[in-house]
Amino acid sequence: MKATNSTGLIFFPAYDWEISPTHPERQERLLYTQDQIMEEGLLDIEGIHEFKAGFATEHDIQRVHFCIPDVASRITPSHNISAGGCIEAARHVLDGDVDKAFALVRPPGHHSMRVVHGARGFCNINIEAIMVEWIRFNYPHVKKIAIVDTDCHHGDGSQDIYWHDPNVLYISLHQDGRTLYPGSGFPDEFGGPNALGMTVNVPLPPRTSDKGYLSVIENLVLPILDEFKPDLVINSAGQDNHYSDPITDMAFTAGGYARLNEMLSPDICVLEGGYSIEAALPYVNTGIILALAGLDYSYVQEPDLDIKSIREEQRILDYIYRLTDGIFENWHKRNELRSEYYAKKEYFQRNKSIYYDTDGISESQVEVVRVCDRCPGVFKIDSQASTGYRILGIHIPRGACQECKHKGLEWFSEASGPYYGVYLQDMDADEYQVRLL
């Protein structure tokens, strides 16, 4: 047996880290997955390589986040290593050591937004985004990146971070926000004025199973990727769509996950959620690894699988087909929509209320972005949290035009008022500064 695609595996189960002893994010989470991987002998297969995780530096984290008041207060070493594991996965792929890689790491990250006052949805920092920004800085030939988020929860953090970025396409498939945390991710959340259509949300009805789920990959995700032509595809491989997951209500199978990865053929997978630690994760992860490596996964199956009992009803499938068609139609109209909404505006403002469920913090944000035809557009975020911190964060994007760059630096130097500090991300300079007021 030999892998068709050489595949790297970064396995970091963090056997000494938990949110609390009975929390879904606890030490035991990847234990049975490791058992299954070891028993299958996956690491002995020619072309499958295990690599050691690493550490993400403070600088790596600052490329993505405004951590309030600072990086050290918002994270523990587990977060450095989880993000560092993703970075190592990317390094081995981009250096050509392997064709593909899977970062099986915890804790997860896709609910973490650009501003971080605390933990949301078990996430402190966004491990994919930290990896993506590390890639763009270190491998500048990688211009366009697509993130396909197949966690059952809407990746509202990743969406927030890439909302204004026309070079990162973020597609999320998730259980409908009307029925599940975090309650967002509807088709009309479609990207900011400079990146309209670069956020694509597919809220799936509860009980969606293999047929419905894979139809979205085939009829929406793959055609959009074909048109976007990314240099790199990343799968946020949450595993909580599984029929046995205790905190969601979907009906996806291990075989379905494997098929998904075969169809999508991502360059890098990053584990996100997934809390059916005994009945799902061992089989789902085995399936994903085999599929990534291009090996036969047809014998990977949950012992208790009764495929007939979880098959979607026809009306659910019909709903999904209609939904997919609508989203695809909108995607093709993204440029018309942009001129319709934003053509005459110089700045665009959005107001957001954010709740940090894990830490019980509320935050309100006013975000102002410069509508720009020449670059992704500079933006600033005025953020006030119930912890008492109020800050201004300014983001000068990669490839910013002169006007946007000047505007950002002007905002940074002239800001005054009731802020704890002003934070600056200057992506092209790779400089991240804080001016305390």
Partner 1 sequence: MFKPWGEKDMMLGIDVGGTHTDAVCIDNGSIISTVKRLTHTQDLVSSIVDAVEGLDVDVERVERVVLSTTLATNSIVEDRLGPTGMIVSGGPGIDPREYFLDENFYLVKGAIDHRGRQYQELAEKDVIDVGRRLKARSIEGIGIVSKFSVRNPLHENRIHSILTEDFRYTSMGHQMSGSLNFPRRIFTTYFNTAVMPVQHRFLESVGMALRDMGIYTDMLILKADGGTITYNSAFNLPVETILSGPAASIMGAVALTGERGTALVLDIGGTTTDMGVLAGGVPLMQPRGVDIGGKKTLVRGLELLSLGVAGDSRVILEDGNVRIGPTRVGPPACLGGELPTPTDALSVVGLFDEGEKERARKALSDMSREMNKSVEDVARLVIKTFCHELKDAAIRFINELNSRPVYTIHDMIYPEVIRPEGIIVVGGPAGSLCSLLEDTFGIPCKVPRYYEVANAVGACLARTTVRITLLADTYLGKLLCPEMDIEEDIPGNYSPDDVKAFGMERLDELYEYLGMKDRPETDVVEEQSFNMVRGFRTVGKNIRMRLQTRPGVLPLSEM
Q: Binds 55, which of Zn ion, partner 1, none (CB < 5 to 8 A, cut-off by type)?
A: partner 1
Catalytic residue among 79, 111, 117, 154: 111
Q: Which is nearer to partner 1, 18 or 176 (CB)?
A: 18
What is the smallest separation between the CB atom of 374 and Zn ion, expressed in angstroms?
Answer: 5
Residue 372 contact partner, candidates Zn ion, partner 1, none, CB within 5 to 8 A by sort of partner: Zn ion
Residue 78 vs 324, nearer CB to partner 1: 78
Binding of residue 204 to Zn ion (CB under 5 A): no
Residue 79 a catalytic site member: no
User: Which listed option, partner 1, Zn ion, none, makes contact with residue 57 (CB within 5 to 8 Å by class)?
Assistant: none
- CA-wise closest residue to 310 among 256, 253, 356: 253
Q: Interface residues with partner 1 (CB under 8 A)?
A: 1, 10-17, 21-22, 26-28, 31-32, 34-36, 38-41, 44, 50-53, 55, 77-78, 81, 246, 278, 282-283, 286, 290, 295-296, 298-304
Please choose which of Zn ion, partner 1, none residue 249 contacts, taking the beta carbon within 5 to 8 angstroms, the exact cut-off set by kind. none
Q: Give the shortest CB-24-to-Zn ion separation in angstroms.
A: 10
Nearer to Zn ion, 116 or 375 (CB): 375
Q: Which one of partner 1, Zn ion, none is in contact with 202 (Cβ closer than 5 to 8 A by kind)?
A: none
Strand 390-396 with 379-385, pairing? antiparallel
**C-alpha dihedral sign at 57, 60, 63, 68:** negative
Touching Zn ion, residues 205-244 (CB under 5 A): 238, 240
Asked if residue 151 binds Zn ion (CB under 5 A), the reply is yes
Closest CB 337 distance from partner 1, rounded Å? 45
104 binds Zn ion (CB under 5 A): no
Residue 345 CB, nearest distance to Zn ion (Å)?
A: 14
Shortest Cβ 293–Zn ion spacing (Å): 25
Residue closer to Zn ion (CB basis): 54 or 273: 273
375 binds Zn ion (CB under 5 A): yes
Q: Rounded to an integer, what distance in angstroms lies between the CA atom of residue 405 and that of residue 386?
A: 31
For position 111 contacting Zn ion by CB under 5 A, the verdict is no
Distances (CA, A) of 221 to 25, 69, 381, 390, 403: 29, 38, 31, 39, 35
18 or 133: whose CB is closer to partner 1?
18
Q: Quick one: 72 or 429, whose CB is closer to partner 1?
A: 72
- 302 vs 363 by CB, closer to partner 1: 302
Residues 402-431 that bind Zn ion (CB under 5 A): 404
Say which entry of Zn ion, partner 1, none residue 77 contacts (CB below 5 to 8 A, set by partner kind).
partner 1
Residues contributing to the site for Zn ion (CB under 5 A): 151-153, 238, 240, 273, 372, 374-375, 401, 404
Active-site residue set: 111
